[in-house]
Amino acid sequence: MGFVKNDLKSQTWPAFQNKESLFEADVLSVLYETSKEALDAIIPPGLKLRGRPLVEIGLNDFKHTNFDVAYKEAALAIGVVDEKLGIEGKLVVAMTLNTDQGSFLGREANGYPKKVGHVGSAYDGDVFTAYCARHGVCYASYSCDATQEPNDPEYESLNSELNKMLPFKPDHLAAFNYIWPVGLRTRIKPLLQPMWLKMEPTKAVKTGRGDVHLNWSRHDPWASLPVIKVLGANIITGNISLISAEDKYYTEIDSNAYLPYSFFGWDEPHAK
């Protein structure tokens, strides 16, 4: 491989062409309740909290993608609504990936908040366990045991509400992020971007008892969304598609208002 590429078709990945990104995956999702104050403190401008203060902590074990990368991804998501357009969906608060190849277009103050770290999982029978760690700190470990009942009888209804489908795009939900390329602060405002996400199970969905343990990490403060009550969990094997929304669904955000919520895919220098 040289510096100049000749095979342009293989060189151009789907995400760069605004085409669908496709994934085959085993997905673990654990739902827990946190405090409203904790969520209100981290929601960027343009969005507001939707419903009860719930957090979905998940593990995506991507077996195959249409950009030729298989990887694992841990993620935190919360329920939000677009203040201007009224679109209900989820905001991805943080992600940890086990490869930098899975984080293209998401390593700066732009896109999904991805960092590279240690991500592990084991799926055996009806039990799915996962963890993520960076800088020697395991800041999240969680699991689903589908041989047991969900922790809370309201789990099914609350999980359905958090993952509510879009009324104008059947079988899809909105997964929000922000676009604000580095170096363009004086020339473009940040954009609130909804991505259309679709999950098609290829096997029966398993529900069960969830378990979540969070540890404090300076660089990965997942524990700032404390676990008040675990509600339940599920395991889904299937196909996922992700594509950018049409232009009319983007919203400009004030740069100064968004600045405290912008992020980088690397960490702050250690205090001396």
The pLDDT tens digits of the residues spanning 54-112 come to: 999 999 999 988 777 789 999 999 999 999 999 999 999 999 999 876 555 444 445 78
Establish if 9 belongs to a structural domain. no
Rounded to an integer, what distance in angstroms lies between the CA atom of residue 154 and that of residue 166?
A: 22
Is residue 123 situated within a structural domain? yes
Give the number of domains in the chain: 1
173 three-state secondary structure: strand
Pairing of β 118-124 and β 127-134: antiparallel
Specify the pLDDT at position 259: 84
User: What pLDDT score does 1 carry?
Assistant: 46
- Is 266 inside any structural domain? no
CATH code, 24: 2.40.400.10
Is the residue at 14 inside a domain?
no
The residue range of the domain holding 60 is: 20-261
State the pTM of this model: 0.90
Flag whether 47 is in a domain.
Answer: yes
Instruction: Flag whether 219 is in a domain.
Output: yes
Tokens in use for 88? 């209900």
Q: Is residue 11 part of a domain?
A: no
User: Is 7 within a domain?
Assistant: no
Q: Are the C-beta atoms of 181 and 108 separated by less than 8 Å?
A: yes
The per-residue pLDDT for 72 is: 95
Indicate if the pLDDT at residue 272 is higher than 50: no
Nearest to 174 by CA among 223, 244, 95: 244
Torsion-angle region of 19 (φ positive above 0: left; ψ -120 to 50: alpha; else: beta):
beta
Select the more confidently predicted residue: 9 or 200: 200
Going by pLDDT thresholds of 50, 70 and 90, the confidence category of residue 246 is very high
Q: What is the DSSP letter of 224?
A: G
Among 171, 97, 102, CA closest to 130? 97
